[in-house]
Amino acid sequence: MKNKTLNTARILITVFLVVSVLLPLVRLILNIHMEDVAGIMQSPQFKPMILNSLATTSIATVISVGMAWVLAWFVNRTNIRFKAVFSVLFTLPMLIPSISHGMGLVLLFGDNGLITNWFGINIGLYGYKGIVMGSLLYSFPVAFLMLTDVFQYEDYTVYEAASVLGLSKFQQFKTITFPNMKKPLISVVFAVFTMIFTDYGVPLTVGGKILTIPVYMYREVIGLLDFSKGAIIGIVLLIPAVIAFVLDLKSEENGNASTVTKMYEITDNKLRDKIAYIVCGIVIFLISLPLAAFAYLSIVKQYPIDMGLSFANIKQAFELGVGGYLLNSLTIALLTSLVGLVVIYLTAYLTARSKKSFSTMTLHLISMVSLAIPGIVLGLGYVLFFKGSWIYGTLIILVLVNMIHFFASPYLMAYNSLGKFNEKLEDVADVMGVSRIRMLLDVYVPCTVESMVEMFSYLFVNSMVTISAVSFLANFKNMPLALMIPQFDAQSLIEATAFISIIILFVNGVLKLGVYFVKRYIRAQDIM
């Protein structure tokens, strides 16, 4: 690939990202009417909305990150068996939409919930309690994965030196573990806070009379078609995400790459391992309850009147179009994964394997911007910017918004993987007369194929479960399956909503299982 071709590709991708990322945000801002700003700020519900969102998000974030840290420590710092199985089970909540977590809690602990009826205990789910519980289920798997990754890159030689100096375990934690994890922990806290703060699925189902900012935005745009007020709330939702984005960039600039000279050695401690088994078992049991409730409710005759088993509800769900909406979801997820993989990997190649210049740094920054845009804000920006265009109302715009919504994380996977190669590799290839396209196809792609598989998996799973970015763009023809959950819930089709969650879980589970075997095959080929 000659430099001219590289420059052309860089320009085309930059234009693509400007049109699909920056211009919708600009259009969103330009759509704001100043009289609406004053109206919202002075409305009696604005301050309670802000306080409700901040209170529930802060509480859920603290519990979520704390719980994820404990679980990550148990998986990485104890001698328990089946660590890989535990890790997979902890991430099961990621495979269903956030709104399903709220629905699962309603099915279990609502006024007519299964546990409420069976044990006669009403926990008063609706309100702050329900939002925090649902947000915890929705967010802690992400925090767990991020923290697990941090634990795997601790150098044990530092701990050995501390032991020789006579430092206790608590002193080692205070002087080594916590300082090492401080920056990543801040990133995890802001990532989880942003996830919860911008989510409307959980508070929509279990919030009761407690109104949060995303729910207000959803109602104003979907219910009242008030795009100006929606844009104002969208800007408010951008604030914590932008702060998190800036802190992440600052952390990346200031962080020093560390080399692991010796992997962490885990000492024998039977009491610690028993506690780990008990805690991990309890967590898996609790997060499995909503999934078990969905499976059970899918085959009852009529919840909660007649709890006899029947497949009539599954038949009814397909008669209501679930099959077609599932096909939409699969099509959107596959196209997002395939097209996104190519575009994102090429973008990462251009930024990671080119000399640092204004154009490459600009492209890198734009690629990262999607981290700071909540899905619900991006979706509204797309409505305002693309309305009237040929892609509006088609599957293409849903694929595009999903690809941009989830662009940053797989981009970082590819960017980091490609950045590990020797920086002089391109110079050597030029001297030997090897073209850049040959280097890309014969060297980089084969060596980073595992990262590509993970990128595909990330895009597919998130496209299957997302409801935020596509809410404002979908219609009855192209609607993905996840959006049928609020639709059926509004029609009191509880059994159908449960069945949809199980379908999405099954599809994503199959995909994850396939990814496991593909990666296993790749590793086996490398050994041979």
Where residue 133 sits, what CATH number does that domain have? 1.10.3720.10
**Does some domain include residue 522?**
yes
Q: What is the pLDDT of residues 179-200, one digit of tens each?
A: 777 777 887 888 888 888 888 8
Least confident stretch, 61-70, 94-103, 501-510: 94-103
Q: Is 301 exposed, middle or buried (0-12, 13-18, 19+ CB in 10 A)?
A: middle
For the chain, the domain total comes to: 1
Tell me if residue 485 falls in helix, strand or coil: helix
Q: What is the mean pLDDT of residues 84-90?
A: 88
Highest mean pLDDT among 87-101, 250-264, 407-421: 87-101
| Residue 216 domain boundaries | 3-22+83-305+315-527
**Does some domain include residue 42?**
no
Q: What is the mean pLDDT of residues 380-397?
A: 91
Question: How far, in Å, are 160, 195, 197, 215 from residue 239 at the CA level?
Answer: 43, 13, 10, 17
Find the helix packing angle between 358-369 and 408-419, rounded to 10°. Answer: 140
| CA gap 359, 366 in Å, rounded | 11
User: Which two three-digit tokens encode residue 41?
Assistant: 């700020």
Cβ atoms 59, 445 nearer than 8 A = no
| CA gap 304, 106 in Å, rounded | 12
- Determine the straight-line distance between the first and last CA of the chain, rounded to whole angstroms: 31
Say if residue 1's pLDDT is above 50. Answer: no
**Does some domain include residue 224?**
yes
**Does some domain include residue 71?**
no
Whether omega before 304 lies within 30 degrees of 0, making that bond cis, reads yes
| Confidence (pTM) | 0.84
Dmax (CA) for the chain in angstroms is 77
Highest mean pLDDT among 152-166, 251-265, 290-304, 468-482: 468-482
Q: What is the pLDDT of residues 391-434, one digit of tens each?
A: 998 999 999 999 999 998 888 888 878 877 777 777 777 777 77
Q: What is the mean pLDDT of residues 99-117?
A: 87
| 493 or 64, higher pLDDT | 64
User: Which two three-digit tokens encode residue 500?
Assistant: 């949809």
- 468: number of Cβ within 10 Å: 24
Tell me if residue 300 falls in helix, strand or coil: strand
Q: What is the mean pLDDT of residues 315-321?
A: 84
**Does some domain include residue 335?**
yes
Cβ atoms 354, 360 nearer than 8 A = yes
CA 160 to the chain's CA centroid: 37
Q: Is 478 exposed, middle or buried (0-12, 13-18, 19+ CB in 10 A)?
A: buried
DSSP summary character for residue 6: H
Q: Phi, psi at residue 517, to the nearest 5°?
A: -70, -35
The pLDDT > 70 percentage for the chain reads 88
Alpha helices, DSSP H only, in 301-444? 312-319, 322-352, 358-369, 375-386, 395-405, 408-419, 425-432, 436-439
What integer pLDDT is reported at residue 18 of this predicted model? Answer: 92
| 274 or 250, higher pLDDT | 274
For the chain, helix, strand, coil in percent to 5 are: 75, 0, 20
**Does some domain include residue 202?**
yes
Q: Phi, psi at residue 205, to the nearest 5°?
A: -95, -35
What integer pLDDT is reported at residue 257 of this predicted model? Answer: 45
What integer pLDDT is reported at residue 265 of this predicted model? Answer: 65
User: Which two three-digit tokens encode residue 263?
Assistant: 């992997």
What integer pLDDT is reported at residue 155 of this predicted model? Answer: 58
**Does some domain include residue 237?**
yes
**Does some domain include residue 325?**
yes
| 327 or 170, higher pLDDT | 327
